[in-house]
Amino acid sequence: MHTEKKLASASLESLYRIFTVPEAPESTLGRIDRNISRNLTAFLQEHIVAVEKDLEEIEEDFSDPHIPERPAFVSSHADFLLEKLVSQSVHTASPSFVGHMTTALPYFMLPLSKIMIALNQNLVKTETSKAFTPLERQVVGMLHQLIYQRDSDFYANWMHDSNHALGALGSGGTIANLTALWAARNNRFPADKGFEGVSREGMYGALHHYGFEGAAILASRRGHYSLGKASDVLGIGRNQLILVDTDDKNRMDPEALRRTCLRLRSRGICILSVVGIAGTTETGSVDPLDELAGLAQEFGSHFHVDAAWGGPTMFSRKYRSLMKGVQQADSVTIDAHKQLYVPLGVGMVLFKDPTMLNSIEHHAQYVIRKGSKDLGSSTLEGSRPGMAMLVYSGLKIIGRQGYELLINRGIELTAAFADMIRERDCFELITEPELNILTYRYVPSVVREALEYGDLESVEALNKGLNRITQYIQKAQRAQGRAFVSRTRLNPEIYNGEDVIVFRVVLANPLTTKEILKDILDEQETIADDVETLEVRNGLTKICETCFVERKSVL
């Protein structure tokens, strides 16, 4: 008993120690810190994307559901993390990791994040964040200015106003889109005679009161899956997310939008929001925002632009015209952990009208009281870290000109990559890049010819085979770990809307070069010769021969 008590008191002392600032740089923690830095530097200097190891095998190291009884040494735990976790993580900053939107970070983010972590400010209220609150409001103001370009008076009036917010920071684009549509919904169904508003009475009461059969959100087929989630969460229903047809460049067709709106209206359905995409996740396409804005206005709908990816194109004087019409949006989503090059997770939604967020305002007795400057009164999330500081640091250190260089380089490198793909006779460019994303697939030249003149049935069979090969190449390349491109499924018009599996490439890492892209294509060509694809390729050749014979007899 006595020993146990001693043990407990000894541990309590060591607990105090772990909560106390280590003073000497030569402390154990100082040594661990340097060891971690060295190891991370080595890891990040590698150009390998990931070491080949099955997830199932990795799971063995992370399978014990029991929280250990006894405390462990920080040093041995750090060693475990470096050996089992860091070595088996994905090198998202590698210049040959071109498959997703998670990309490299400027290295100054590392020392600066230390400020954020160490201070552990909570942005829900000024009492736990103080200067971080005006800083976050400034960041929101800066991005608002980037999009809407209002004058200085506007920002002097609204940026730090305790009863308004020009936008809301959150953990990412999904929360931003959800917040935008939440505000749109609440503004569309406000309090009225005999009705306290959708916020208080819910969707059932709102549709009942306003006499609608439903409420719809309209986006193109290329919209992000967060829009489906938002429709579900908001009680609107995924069926009410109406996917509007796109043109052959994956952009929403305004005429199709108009037809859809008219059809919905005639069925008594409220057109809650039109959502334009500025940089679709799969193809980087930008909807015709100005035309969409006009139609949204015509049908009395909120106009939201999901510019999670493409927003920072506004930094570029050269390419900002691609975003034409964005400033007409009622709300705009921008992700900071994408093309603002800030660590995960931080995104934001901006509102044209400073009163718009009031429709989701909420208060409590102990925080976010009415009239306070607490940011928590207009965010979906509650407690939140001071990520705004890192967004701010990016804006200040890189500057508009720096971001423009990054944006321009990405767009131009992607155009060059499209040329490289076109120059090879075993690849087919599926989507022309508009921003810095493109898709393509593996198509041997013999098949390509047959794809053009084959009958519907043959083309379908060819595409099925090509899908298998492209998927095989993508997985094999990922497993080899030298480079990573992602894959998705599109339904291009030229193939009558058939399922077409494509490689998807996102070029946002400034260290990615043409040489690296060449290597990626070379590796894909090599993989295509694997024995595993042989049978499929033989099958394709046979189909092509038949097509060729048929064609000859026709000619």
Judged by CB, which is closer to its own copies: 10, or 456?
A: 10
Q: Is 127 in the site for its own copies (CB under 8 A)?
A: yes
551 binds its own copies (CB under 8 A): no
Which of the residues 382 through 411 are near its own copies (CB under 8 A)?
A: 382-386, 389, 393, 395-402, 405-406, 409
**Rule CB under 8 A: is residue 48 a binding residue for its own copies?**
no
DSSP type of residue 85: I
DSSP assignments along 243-280, one per residue? EEPB-TTS-B-HHHHHHHHHHHHHTTEEEEEEEEEBS-
Binding piece for its own copies, criterion CB under 8 A, among 227-235, 294-302, 412-420, 520-528: 227-235
d(CA 285, CA 167): 25
Whether the Cβ atoms of residue 101 and residue 59 lie closer than 8 Å to each other = no
Amino acid at 18: I
Residues 400-459 contacting its own copies, CB under 8 A: 400-402, 405-406, 409
* Token pair of 470 as six digits: 């492209």
Residue from 114, 259, 263, 267 touching its own copies (CB under 8 A): that is 114
Residues from 289 through 318 that contact its own copies (CB under 8 A): 315
Decide if residue 366 touches its own copies (CB under 8 A). yes
Per the CB < 8 A criterion, the answer to whether 255 and 311 are in contact is no
**Among the listed residues 512, 481, 519, 518, the one whose alpha carbon sits nearest the alpha carbon of residue 91:** 481
| Residue 161 interacting with its own copies (CB under 8 A) | no
Q: Which is nearer to its own copies, 290 or 381 (by Cβ)?
A: 381
Asked if 225 touches its own copies (CB under 8 A), the answer is: yes
Identity of the residue, 143 or 544, whose beta carbon is nearer to its own copies in the bound complex = 143
Q: Is 220 in the site for its own copies (CB under 8 A)?
A: no
Q: CB-based contacts of 77: which residues, under 8 Å, 6+ apart? A: none
* Stretch touching its own copies by CB under 8 A, among 166-174, 326-334, 449-457, 544-552: 166-174
Residue 238 binds to its own copies (criterion: CB under 8 A): yes
Cα torsion angle, 462, 463, 464, 466, sign:
positive
Which residues in the 171-200 window bind its own copies by CB under 8 A?
Answer: 171-175, 178, 182, 186, 196, 198-200
- Rounded Cα–Cα distance for residues 230 and 182 (Å): 8
Task: Find all residues with CB under 8 Å of 202, minimum gap 6, and list them.
Answer: 235
Residues 250-269 that bind its own copies (CB under 8 A): none
| Contact string 71-100 vs its own copies (x = CB under 8 A) | xxxx--xx-xxx-xxx-xxx-xx-----xx
Contacts to its own copies from residues 509-528, by CB under 8 A: 509-511
| Interface with its own copies: number of residues (CB under 8 A) | 181
Whose CA is closest to 292, among 267, 275, 278? 275
Return the DSSP state at 81: I
Q: Name which of 148 and 288 has its Cβ closer to its own copies.
A: 148
